[in-house]
Structure 1
Amino acid sequence: MSARPLLFATSLALSSVATLAQSDDPTAPQLTPQEQLEQIIGSTAGQPDVDPYQIINESYNFRKEREPDMTAAEFALYERMSSMVETNPTFALQLLETMLGDDQDDSAAFDLALGNMYFSEDRIDDALARYTSAVTKYPEFLRGWVNIGMIHYQRQSWADAANAFAKAVNLGDRDAQTFGLLAFSLRQTGNTLGAEMAFMQAMTANPSDTNWIGGLLELYFINGRHAQSESLVRELVRLEPGKAENWMLYSSLLVSLKRPLEAATQLEIARELGTASPEALGLLGDLYVGLGLIPEAVAAYGAIPGDNEQLGAARLLAYARSMVKDGNLKEARSILAKIPVRADWELAKPRLFANAELAVAEGNWTAAQQAYATILNREPLNPYALLGNGHAYAELGDAARAEFAFENALQVPAAEHRACLELANLALADRRFPRAVQMLNRADALEPSSAIRSQIARINNLAAQ
């Protein structure tokens, strides 16, 4: 009885290598379209590019129509030292502090001025205390809330920053930057709905600032709202047509929306404008391959700077292997036939793997064994070739060579577990029950499994009969 029928007759749940991994590292993560979009836009999209010192320095200016006044004495001192603020802030600070010793409370406006001076000297805790005192005395002190928000923003205390910026907005601040700071702070706290609304307000206040578009896009991508994202991405491209990442973002979005021809069209536009990045040209080639336009794909790959011929062949090989995995064997064979044979091993090896995988899928075990053997001639310890070679021999009915191949695979950590299972399968076919149990115990020690232990018990029962 052959190994394969006995395997099913006893319901032995063993792994096989009927389909090998599509790369030399089968654990290599493959990004989904969703992950690709998030990677392109970045998790800090919409983070305002602000200078907190500039914002706080601007708050030196009075807004007498809706903010508290200093006392006459405070204002006289402020006028005297205001010229020193930029040239000698330390001395100006000393002048302001001379007023702290009297019994009269300082005004909210004076608290703000003193807080600004502390901030300029990097006495941040003292500055925050003064700003807090100012808004406590005068809760509608808009500039005080903005400055409090900036300190918390710098410290990444997102909830406190969001509360301060929200207070400023409620008091009438309609500056796009304040809305943007509020939006990003809310986004960092996890309040994506509030962040979305604030980003929209920032876009309304300053529609040409791509910060806010990027922030809103990142929120949409997190939630998979790709259809709503398209108009925003188009606006990014319109505002900054010279940025290669915008074209890449647009095409990636169209791919996620299952519109590959439109994605290729956008990348061709970027190519004509000279703004297509190497990654964009690679994606363009991939799209053409998926559309069955192999000559166009080769031309796109050929436009990539560097060793484009090798890169193009590598991408085509990867695509052919994915077609094998998906069962599109005719298309895979057609693509493989169009890829020039290269002598360099970095391309020869994946081509051999592709040929082997196609042969396995078609049941051509002789061709599969020959391809794996060719790889092993160059890389005797390649785990996937060792396992594939053994599996091909087993399917060809050559149990002795199959066992020899799997014994070799036992010596390679990446292949050891699966080789144990295959050797157990071969032993079971010959009713060598102790050998089968030995291999299964070794497999269970490497990767504990209740299913394997259950099969060990079944084999022991068979041996006792």
Structure 2
Amino acid sequence: MKTVHARWLLATCCLWSGGALAAAPLDAGRLIADSSQLQKAPEPEMTESERAVYEKVAPILTTKPAFALRLLKAMSTTSDPNAKPSPAFDFMLGNAYYAAGNYPEAEAKYRSAVERNPTFVRAWNNLGVLYHVQAQHADAVPCFSQSVALGYRDATTFGLLGNSLEKTGNTVSAEMAYMQALAAEPANVNWSEGLLRIYIAGQQYAKAETLVRALLAGHSEDARYWATYAHLLLSSDRKLEATALLERMAATGLTREADLILLGDLYAEQRMTTEALANFARVATTQPELAERRLLQLAKTLSSERLWAEALIVLETLAKKPLTPQSRIAYLESRAELELARKNSLEAKRAFEALLAEAPANGNAWIGLGRVYLAEAEPTKAIAAFEHACEIPDSSYRASIELSNIEFKNHNYERCLRHLERALGIRRTASVENFRDQIRNLIPSEKQPRL
């Protein structure tokens, strides 16, 4: 069951977009509202009449945005059709439209403000926020970049720039932006998680481990960080450390279903059968079919490695459970194959017969039963079982090969040839064709089938 590392590599591609460390939701409304305060740095000014209007409406801008917007538009209307509001008033109108949920009009007002005053930093910033909340990250990047260039170098602007760069695939610049954001706000988990995603995507696992340990130091109750740490350990093939970490999670009640499955897989991969059984028992409380599949795979793996005693323990555990019909068939197959491998013909025959009683069209069972009969020196019964298997498409090829071997040993070369021709009609392989040609040489020409 050496699949844990492969699953982690696959998870690296999808985990961060909607799973363990997806970007935290942005409180864009707060950012827009905060920007509505009168500017603290030199920016375009409103006219005196615009300022008077705005100061009357500002108290209800966030509580009753639609009503405030109507008042702003009504009170700012002039008799001059060519008159335009100042860039500063366009900016405030953009904020009002944003608060009312009218994003197209908000965009138009912010655009008007920056086109008429390219150094209007708050308008650039809010335009970036507007694009960001609509997932237009390619449009958001130049807005936040312009804000930074104009001196708006707070942590939030750098963090949002980093997130937008990350979403557009520019991970190098995103890393730098996130680091700038963290320099200003070291405790902000949003920026830390963003940087962590960048490190993982770039396979900078040492840096990622340092960062996730720092996150755990301040947020030990967050199961996402523990799980991420475990996956980072697996990426470095430190399976025992990952196992210990997941057990620590389980002891504190932080493990989620995916973590329990991973822990069970790790125990199974390390052939710690007792621990794997205990862990999959916990998984079975919520996902019984998944637990069944994992245990069946474990039993198959143990059996293939000739660890029959441990494989039997797993199968006996399954036998005590109310299995799904599909898992019941797989269990009987595994049990029969195990007993056949152990040369326990009696138990193998019982298992194959039980399997055929539930699934008479199971070709594997007929082939297995035929092999049991061969082991018991009952070739007639073996031939009958293999003939049954020949009638089933999934097992016809293998059964034909088994029958050809029997007839070859019995020196019935004509029958052997017929079985080989049937097998080649299903699947052509060089080895079977070579065997067929050798058998032809053993048959007198007058007895060979005509082409």
TM-score by length of 1: 0.73
Tell me the matched-pair count. 421
Q: How does 1:6-405 map to 2 (within 5 A)?
A: 32-36=7-11, 40-43=15-18, 45-86=21-62, 87=64, 88-95=67-74, 97-99=76-78, 101-300=80-279, 306=285, 315-325=294-304, 328-329=305-306, 332-339=307-314, 340=316, 342-344=319-321, 346=323, 349-358=329-338, 371-382=351-362, 384-385=364-365, 398=379, 400-405=383-388
Mapped partners of 1:67, 1:377: distance in 2: 85
Mapped partners of 1:384, 1:81: distance in 2: 80
Alignment partner of 2:397 out of 416, 421, 434: 421
Mapped partners of 1:269, 1:320: distance in 2: 27
The structure-2 alpha-carbon separation of the partners of 1:62 and 1:403, relative to structure 1 and needing over 3 Å to count, comes to same
Q: Name structure 1 gaps, 5 residues minimum.
A: 1-21, 23-27, 445-450
Deviations 1:263-287 (A, max 9, x none): 2222232233232334434544444
- The more displaced of 243-252 and 346-355 is 346-355
Mapped partners of 1:29, 1:300: distance in 2: 16
Mapped partners of 2:429, 2:89: distance in 1: 77
Mapped partners of 1:171, 1:383: distance in 2: 74
Deviation at 1:121, TM superposition (A): 3.2
The structure-2 alpha-carbon separation of the partners of 1:131 and 1:206, relative to structure 1 and needing over 3 Å to count, comes to same
Mapped partners of 1:291, 1:364: distance in 2: 27
Deviation at 1:133, TM superposition (A): 1.4
CA radius of gyration, larger in: 2
TM-score by length of 2: 0.75
Q: Helix, strand or coil for the counterpart of 1:98? A: coil
Mapped partners of 2:27, 2:163: distance in 1: 15
Mapped partners of 1:321, 1:50: distance in 2: 48
Mapped partners of 1:62, 1:222: distance in 2: 41
The structure-2 alpha-carbon separation of the partners of 1:323 and 1:303, relative to structure 1 and needing over 3 Å to count, comes to closer
Higher relative contact order (CA 8 A, sep 6+): 1
What residue identity is the alignment partner of 2:298? Y
The structure-2 alpha-carbon separation of the partners of 1:452 and 1:30, relative to structure 1 and needing over 3 Å to count, comes to farther
Deviation at 1:299, TM superposition (A): 4.9
| Corresponding residue of 2:392 | 409
What residue identity is the alignment partner of 1:400? I
Mapped partners of 1:118, 1:100: distance in 2: 23
Deviation at 1:112, TM superposition (A): 0.5
Deviation at 1:179, TM superposition (A): 2.7
The structure-2 alpha-carbon separation of the partners of 1:383 and 1:435, relative to structure 1 and needing over 3 Å to count, comes to closer
The structure-2 alpha-carbon separation of the partners of 1:344 and 1:232, relative to structure 1 and needing over 3 Å to count, comes to same
What residue identity is the alignment partner of 2:38? F
Q: Helix, strand or coil for the counterpart of 2:30? A: helix
Deviation at 1:230, TM superposition (A): 1.5
Mapped partners of 2:142, 2:352: distance in 1: 64
Mapped partners of 2:279, 2:403: distance in 1: 52
What residue identity is the alignment partner of 2:388? A
Asked whether the 8 Å contact 1:285–1:301 carries over to 2, the reply is yes
Mapped partners of 1:42, 1:221: distance in 2: 13
Asked whether the 8 Å contact 1:390–1:403 carries over to 2, the reply is yes
Asked whether the 8 Å contact 1:196–1:219 carries over to 2, the reply is yes
Asked whether the 8 Å contact 2:113–2:123 carries over to 1, the reply is yes
Q: Helix, strand or coil for the counterpart of 1:32? A: helix
Mapped partners of 2:201, 2:255: distance in 1: 26
What residue identity is the alignment partner of 1:137? R
Deviations 1:97-127 (A, max 9, x none): 5148454443221221122223333332222
Asked whether the 8 Å contact 1:48–1:180 carries over to 2, the reply is no
Q: CA RMSD in A?
A: 4.3
What residue identity is the alignment partner of 1:217? L
What residue identity is the alignment partner of 1:125? P
Deviations 1:365-408 (A, max 9, x none): 88766544432222223465456556777899956235423234
What residue identity is the alignment partner of 1:233? V
What residue identity is the alignment partner of 2:259? A
What residue identity is the alignment partner of 1:249? T
The structure-2 alpha-carbon separation of the partners of 1:100 and 1:175, relative to structure 1 and needing over 3 Å to count, comes to farther
